[in-house]
Amino acid sequence: MPTNEAPIKIKLGSIRWRICALLFFANTINYMDRQVLSFLAPLLQVKIGWTELQYSYIVVVFQAAYALGLLVVGGIIDTIGVRLGYTLTIALWSLAAISHAFARSALSFGISRFFLGLGESGNFPAAIKTVAEWFPKKERALATGLFNSGTSAGAILVPLSVPWIATHLGWQWAFVFTGGFSLIWVVLWWTTYRSPELHTKLTEHELTHIRSDSADVLTKVPWRRLLGYRQSWALLIGKGLTDPVWWFLLFWLPKFFAANFALKLTGLAMPIMIIYIAACVGSIFGGWLPAQGIRMGLSIKVARRSAMLACALAITPIMFVGNIHTLWLAIAIISLAAAAHQGWSANIFTLASDIFPRSFVGSVTGFAGFGGAIGGMLAAWIVGLVLQRYHSYSAIFFVAGTAYLVALLIIQILIPKNDLVTTA
């Protein structure tokens, strides 16, 4: 019998997006703690008296600890879970961030950076694993883009807060201020986070939506077995080639603007804010883009690779920045590159959860992040040598502009399909 009743619309629920908001704030704090030193580097170089090469060594120490942590932290988080794993890793980096306030030499800054890198190595493996647990594949890129935009938000907050703190309270308090935020987040995460099956406020409909993909293989594998998968190497190489560009921008942009355009501490705020606002938008857009492709009928593989290609092409103009002498043109090109990198980052992170089971996404992300950290460590050393000898950023920017297309080609060769990796 015909009826005029409208179909009942089921309210899905939004707990998973609240979890994503917690990840956003974790990444915001992560990059605040990470970037304070680079923003204060021109000032501290005068006060402490380190050279370009010594500064690069401080960056290398951070990268080395980050890489060392990524060797094991993904597997630890897979074993103990993201609730405890995230709590421990952020507690460590919070205390390390505060310890910078007591540093008085390049060596002591290096020690603080080592423990900061060790603690921060757990951030992305924990965040990516949380997304894999709380989101179906069709939403993971958007969720990753949203939480990853927190890195840009953190980078924006630093120029808004650090110059005032350093001027009125002293540079030491900038490290105490940002490190304190991390401790607050630890308490919030520990008291509120639960896995989907144990979350008392999650509706049955939202849980069904989260688990709407076909069942993952739940067999855990030792980290060393990741070496046997070409997909693991593709992600490691992809991150190893492109992460160094982001690290370079994060740690050297204030010094680049100070050296090439004679900007002082307060003058650095506006350019850095603009660049990371663009990066924030790029992260969200990069996560949104493949979702639109999937809605248009594209496969996950085609949608993901197309988004990565668009981002790689948008980064290429940065190769000319070293020879540009107009401040705002340099800012515009770097802003586009930063936005495109974050869009790329959202998709290469999500690629791991596309092709690997949830049970060891943390290990795979840590393995790939290890490649990025090693690449960043080598790049930091090379950048220090180049600047110490040639005092020019031209060659550095040129290499940065080509890295993403090379990385995408390697990923395409090693992962021609998006088939789920089996561990049998």
* Average pLDDT of the residues in 178-191: 90
The pTM assigned to this predicted structure is 0.78
User: What's the CATH code of the domain at 348?
Assistant: 1.20.1250.20
How many alpha carbons fall within 13 Å on the CB side of residue 41? Answer: 24
User: Per residue in 8-53, pLDDT tens?
Assistant: 455 667 889 999 999 999 999 998 998 899 889 888 888 888 888 8
User: Per residue in 306-353, pLDDT tens?
Assistant: 999 999 999 999 999 999 999 999 999 999 999 999 999 888 878 887
DSSP 82-102: HHHHHHHHHHHHHHHHHHGGG
Q: Is residue 423 a part of any domain in this protein?
A: no
State the total domains in the chain.
Answer: 1
Q: How far apart are CA 158 and CA 162, in angstroms?
A: 5
Asked whether 19 and 146 are in contact (CB, 8 A), the reply is no
Q: Is residue 419 a part of any domain in this protein?
A: no
Count of CB atoms situated within 10 Å of the CB of 380: 25
Start-to-end CA span in the chain (Å): 52
71-101 as b/e: b if 16+ CB within 10 A: eebbbbbbeebbbebbbbbbbbbbbbbbbbb
> Which two three-digit tokens encode residue 191?
């008291």
CA angle 382, 384, 385 (to 5 degrees): 65
* Average pLDDT of the residues in 398-417: 94
More confident residue, 254 or 3: 254
Q: Is residue 8 a part of any domain in this protein?
A: no
Q: Is residue 396 a part of any domain in this protein?
A: yes
User: Per residue in 108-145, pLDDT tens?
Assistant: 999 999 999 999 989 988 998 899 888 888 788 788 87
> Which two three-digit tokens encode residue 313?
């092409």
Q: Is residue 85 a part of any domain in this protein?
A: yes
Q: Cβ neighbours of residue 332 under 8 Å, at least 6 residues apart?
A: none
Q: Residue 7 pLDDT > 50, yes or no? A: no
Q: Is residue 360 a part of any domain in this protein?
A: yes
Q: Is residue 204 a part of any domain in this protein?
A: yes
User: Per residue in 276-309, pLDDT tens?
Assistant: 899 888 988 888 888 888 889 888 888 989 999 9
Question: What confidence score (pLDDT) does residue 219 get?
Answer: 47
**Residue 236 CA to its chain's centroid (Å):** 14
Count of CB atoms situated within 10 Å of the CB of 376: 27
* Cα–Cα nearest to 28, from 158, 187, 131: 158
Q: Is residue 350 a part of any domain in this protein?
A: yes
Print the domain residue range for 312. 15-414
Q: How far apart are CA 56 and CA 61, in angstroms?
A: 9
